[in-house]
Copies of this chain bind each other. A is one copy, B any other.
């Protein structure tokens, strides 16, 4: 799984057209607005299908590690296919994101999952401090890869 984490003043989105892999969503999910958020853009990869639960675990570990430092008010899981050229099936991707959302929520954090498989208009700000943009490869291994730390844009 490839992720791009952006510590943002705001993220707003509106769903537009469906794609063939769009998940069904309630009316309330058709738009969203989040201030002071850690936005986690995610691309679940083919490789991740082998051990989804380990991916979920390591994703959450990475998110919490970053959020312990930046202390955002919300965590937003945003599906972003463009981060990888080797995507998993939509089914696995949605399940991994749902599981991550549920576990993070159960730990008392404010977390939100943006709909999968829809074209979306969005606006985002990036705060610009050294930890406000991070990219990672999440694997099923016990130790996460630490590639990309503090890489400038």
B117 touches A121 (CB 8 A): no
A122 touches B118 (CB 8 A): no
Q: How far is the CA of A151 from the CA of B126 in the complex (A)?
A: 23
**Is A63 an interface residue, CB under 8 A from the partner?**
no
User: In the assembly, how many copies of this chain are there?
Assistant: 2
B129 touches A122 (CB 8 A): no
- New contact pairs (18) apart from A19-B152, A83-B83, CB-CB < 8 Å: A14-B128, A21-B152, A22-B152, A78-B153, A81-B135, A81-B151, A81-B152, A81-B153, A82-B135, A83-B135, A118-B152, A119-B128, A119-B132, A120-B128, A120-B153, A121-B125, A122-B128, A123-B123
Which residues in A have some Cβ–Cβ distance to B below 8 Å?
A: 4, 14, 16-17, 19, 21-22, 78-83, 85, 117-130, 132-135, 137, 147-148, 151-153
